[in-house]
Structure 1
């Protein structure tokens, strides 16, 4: 099992659900710098909610402060240009926070997602 990480920031965008020909679904959220971040440069990070976890983003809105629990997943792919490696931040849970950093009622996460590689996904990669 992967190590679980947490990241807190402000929701920049919640993207629509993507459904691939294999039936696999995913939904991405972009989280930017936290309100008290020492960085003066934007740092948008994309987290992917997969399969049943897509619905965890239904109540999340742009501008809300949120904490995301995620795992780092990677995969190797051999294509016409040689071997390539991909990294994905697979989100497991999102918790919308109040302005003071306290939690609103957390959105429960279903069981750990199946992060197995599906060869059918390669056909729809944008690169």
Structure 2
């Protein structure tokens, strides 16, 4: 498939695909006329890259992971270490977000009580 088809299937813009290629996150194959060609493996790979990015992994770290991936199975342990480290990061972010949710829920409960008690017009500091 060509770059525009790849963009549609992967959910990325053509600009982003070219940027990722330039950064070494995806290795592009070319046909006899030097046009980019992609396959289903490329789609699965770029979707995984998007997930890493969406969960906060830096492009520099994704690039390291990508380079290891292209080197083959001899790098599996290193790749696993990178993913395990990122998993710890995500777990920590989830804890932080859960704490934020708890704080919001407490505030919402305070407002509910105030409304039920007819205190909604009284000023408060927070």
TM-score when normalising by structure 1: 0.24
Q: Which has the higher strand share?
A: 1
* Structure number with bigger Rg: 2
- Point out which structure has higher relative CO (alpha carbons under 8 A, 6+ apart): 1
TM-score when normalising by structure 2: 0.24
Q: Which has the higher helix share?
A: 2
